[in-house]
Structure 1
Amino acid sequence: MRMRPIVLIVGLSACLFGSVAHAETTLNVLYAIPSNFKDIQEKIAAKFQEEHPDIKIVFRAPPNTYDEATAQVLRSSLIGDQPDVYFNGINQVRIVADRGKAVPISAFADKTELDNLGYLASMTSLGDVEGKSYGLPFAISTPVLYVNEDLLTAAGRTINDFPTNWEGIIDLGRRIASTSPGKTGFLFGYNTSGNWLYQALVTSHGGRMGAENGCKAIFDDEHGTWALAMLERFTKAGMPDMGWQQGRQAFAAGEIGIYAESSASVALMERNVAGKFKMRTMPFPLASGQGSLPAGGSIAMILAVNKDKQRAAWEYVKFATGPIGQTIMANGTGYAPGNRKATDDPALLGGFYDARPNLATGVKQLPLMTGWYNWAGSNAVKIVDVIQNHINDVAAGRKTAAETMPRMKRDVDALLQNCP
């Protein structure tokens, strides 16, 4: 009789500890641009859950742009319903760090530990705000030129004499359009998320969008003025009013000779054009010896409030940005990885780019990388929309660059009046 209580206690303890061991933590995860990321996000989550059966990944419906996703995060954070993990566009790190309840990476690992985990310092800095890191590099891109070699050949040119400046590219675009009736010679993806390709023109000329603190617009200087004027020149040279989503489809269908956009889509584009025509990628022209290119793509941020969820989120972020996650990402897109353990391992990405010259174009531009400009203040997301509306007017030929620039500067200044 005396043994019975002991047996019951042991049995109860086993049940309790067993339930703890198998307790499941659910992480809500948000990412943007499903056309780029849906397949790889699902593959990474599936692989992670195989190795971490106690953590379940649930994706929220992904918006089409980083800006839409950030607006959604900021709204949900007001009621404590933000995602636990957010793959945020590099241009929206500041506002999510300020208002989206982001957890600093230092809460989980210091710089030495991050280095030991294989993260490249030049890329971890993309998640920095005022000396603190709020995210780890997941997918990094640079702007490139997609070239239809068949249309290039029809125009009497070869990839070996491809122009390296915008003057030459504009002329070549005209030549392609004239030698291949019905085809578009050149298209610039002017409406990519976060004004990214307009920023690329600005930084390639040696400029930047605003002051270091994100509170002052300076894009109306010689660099930004040149960039907007160049966009107008593209339109006057015959560029149609076609956004980046239509542009990708049209290029893959063989309708465009030269298409300026993100290296993010190289792998997808190669699959889509296979058997139709020969495709090459070429570097994005620098207009100045002091020029640079804005890093596109996303970083993984932790927004979870609950400590248990924060620990689970850290495991997921480490996995997605670590060797396995980065290998899955690089194989499925044109983005560059930010973890050297992936790129140095022959079983993962070691030698990967040697055999993929189209992917290597974007990777070779990484030394030219600068930040994707982050606006500060409560109107940061709205500023991006306002700038884009003005860019759209120029690209569509509705307004000139000369009349648009002062209006664009005025509208942005108004939104920065109460900037901290």
Structure 2
Amino acid sequence: MLRKWIAAAAIAFAASAAEAQTQTEITIQYPYPELFTETHKRIAEEFAKIRPDIKVVSRAPYESYEDATQKVLREAVTRQMPDVSFQGLNRVRVLVDKSIPAELDGYIAAEKDFDKQGFHQAMYDIGTSSGKVYALPFAISLPIVYFNMDLVKQAGGDPANLPTTWDELIKLAAKIKALGPDINGVTYAWDITGNWLWQAPVFARGGTMLNADETRVAFDGPEGQFALKTLARLVTEAGMPNLDQPSMRATFAAGKTGIHITSTSDLNKTTQMIGGKFELKTHAFPDVVTPAGRLPAGGNVVMILAKDKAKRDAAWDVVKFWTGAKGAAIMAETTGYMPPNKIANDVYLKNFYIKNPNNYTAVSQLGLLTKWYAFPGDNGLKITDVIKDHLNTIVSGARAREPEAVLADMAADVQKLLPRTSAQAR
């Protein structure tokens, strides 16, 4: 009996060892653990059920999109990159310029009935650079407005007719602010990574960051002037406090802010923090003009960084599942983001949106979606910091009453950092 037991154990051990040897290990790394850790854990569990031959291992998460990009740029030199990396939508250009991610066109072309799995051209467009696909979108966000309906009603606002313009919103915010010294009328997450909520009001009125050939600043036109004056009005007319994003979220969730303007990605976390203390209602971003108005898509894409072919092939299966209908549906249910996958939205999440209308607000704006702009050249990341510094002078109150001058200074500083053409050099 002992010999039989030893033999059986040896066979089991050999089988286990053989399975371990045939498994391909794929490392993934993603940003914002407070938003995504549970999401990736659940998707990995589902993936393991159908692909036990691929072991997905998560590295310690990136702190932010900036951290994600900087780490990959450094790791590309030391050859220590993860096999799969989740990066901000506006960081595709930076990494492609350094020839870091793998092209996905061949993998996409080899797939049969990919459209029936919910993949479509708009998904490919988001991760396209120089005519080739380098990333697939995983989680998409758009800017929306969060209302504390209890404070809206106390201030005399009409719950059935929430503000659709900045004028209406600022007027209501001022009334909410007047409810008490410990109440904020409005907060605006202007410091979101990559100047996202600076681009949003500019794009909403049909503006652009640069001209068509990307040689000159274009955000200093009427659209940019409107956007910066509106930010200044939030401070001067509605008394907006200078808070960072976590503080804005916490203050709103505590019932001390009437209107909070931020990403739909915050929805699940904010809802959990509110815990039923007041009625939360989301609404569309104000003053999106038609037909030129657009809103920048926030969120992140997934890239394959593995260099070994066998690893790349396995990584492609990981990417397909994470951005496919099942993975995308889990992402939507565990965050406030929207899935770009059609089957996820139309089939898996149909009842979810009926039960959770606050989540549908951003989905209703999908027709306005445009790329989150990334500035060209080696100074692209530095430009976003320069813009953030200028915006801070408005929000801090230091220059809130001179938005035109701030915009002129910001445009001049950004222009100096743009790549110079041969004609400009002369």
Question: How far off its partner does 1:321 sit?
Answer: 0.5
8 Å CA contact 1:126, 1:137 repeated in 2: yes
1:311-350 paired onto structure 2 within 5 Å: 311-345=313-347, 348-350=348-350
SS at match of 2:139: strand
Equivalent in the alignment of 1:292: 294
Call closer, same or farther: CA 1:74–1:123 in 2, change over 3 Å.
same
1:270-309 paired onto structure 2 within 5 Å: 270-289=271-290, 290-309=292-311
SS at match of 1:144: strand
Q: What is the aligned counterpart of 1:407 among 406, 409, 416?
A: 409
Equivalent in the alignment of 2:226: 226
Q: Does 1:46 align with 2:48?
A: no
Question: How far off its partner does 1:229 sit?
Answer: 1.6
Q: Normalising by the residue count of structure 2, what TM-score does the alignment of the two structures yield?
A: 0.89
Call closer, same or farther: CA 1:216–1:51 in 2, change over 3 Å.
farther
1:20-169 paired onto structure 2 within 5 Å: 22-99=21-98, 101-110=100-109, 113=112, 114-169=114-169
* Unpaired runs of at least 5, structure 1: 1-14
Question: How far off its partner does 1:191 sit?
Answer: 0.4
Distance 2:398 2:214 in 1: 29
Equivalent in the alignment of 1:241: 242
Amino acid corresponding to residue 99 of structure 1 in structure 2: K
Equivalent in the alignment of 2:312: 310
Distance 2:266 2:421 in 1: 35
Q: Which moved more, 1:326-335 or 1:106-115?
A: 106-115
8 Å CA contact 1:377, 1:419 repeated in 2: no
Amino acid corresponding to residue 106 of structure 1 in structure 2: D
Distance 2:317 2:288 in 1: 42
Amino acid corresponding to residue 57 of structure 2 in structure 1: V
8 Å CA contact 2:149, 2:280 repeated in 1: yes
Question: How far off its partner does 1:216 sit?
Answer: 4.0
Equivalent in the alignment of 2:390: 390
SS at match of 1:210: coil
Q: Deviations over 1:1-41 (max 9, x none)?
A: xxxxxxxxxxxxxx89x848843322222211222212112
Call closer, same or farther: CA 1:111–1:200 in 2, change over 3 Å.
farther
Among the aligned pairs, what percent are the same residue? Answer: 38
Question: How far off its partner does 1:287 sit?
Answer: 4.6
SS at match of 1:109: helix
Distance 1:266 1:291 in 2: 24
Distance 1:388 1:223 in 2: 18
SS at match of 1:175: helix
Aligned Cα RMSD in Å?
Answer: 2.2
Q: Which moved more, 1:405-414 or 1:87-96?
A: 405-414
Q: Normalising by the residue count of structure 1, what TM-score does the alignment of the two structures yield?
A: 0.90
Question: How far off its partner does 1:221 sit?
Answer: 1.6
* Unpaired runs of at least 5, structure 2: 1-13
Q: Deviations over 1:255-277 (max 9, x none)?
A: 11000000112122222212211
Amino acid corresponding to residue 86 of structure 1 in structure 2: S
Distance 1:314 1:213 in 2: 34
Q: Deviations over 1:23-65 (max 9, x none)?
A: 3322222211222212112221232233323323232332332
Equivalent in the alignment of 1:171: 171
8 Å CA contact 1:151, 1:180 repeated in 2: no
Distance 1:189 1:63 in 2: 21
8 Å CA contact 1:71, 1:381 repeated in 2: no
Q: Which moved more, 1:50-59 or 1:185-194?
A: 50-59
Q: Deviations over 1:130-160 (max 9, x none)?
A: 2111111211111000000111111122321
Distance 1:338 1:273 in 2: 27
Amino acid corresponding to residue 138 of structure 1 in structure 2: F
Question: How far off its partner does 1:111 sit?
Answer: 8.9
Q: How many correspondences in the alignment?
A: 404
Distance 2:257 2:173 in 1: 9
8 Å CA contact 2:117, 2:325 repeated in 1: no
Amino acid corresponding to residue 87 of structure 1 in structure 2: F
Q: Which moved more, 1:20-29 or 1:293-302?
A: 20-29
Distance 2:60 2:382 in 1: 22
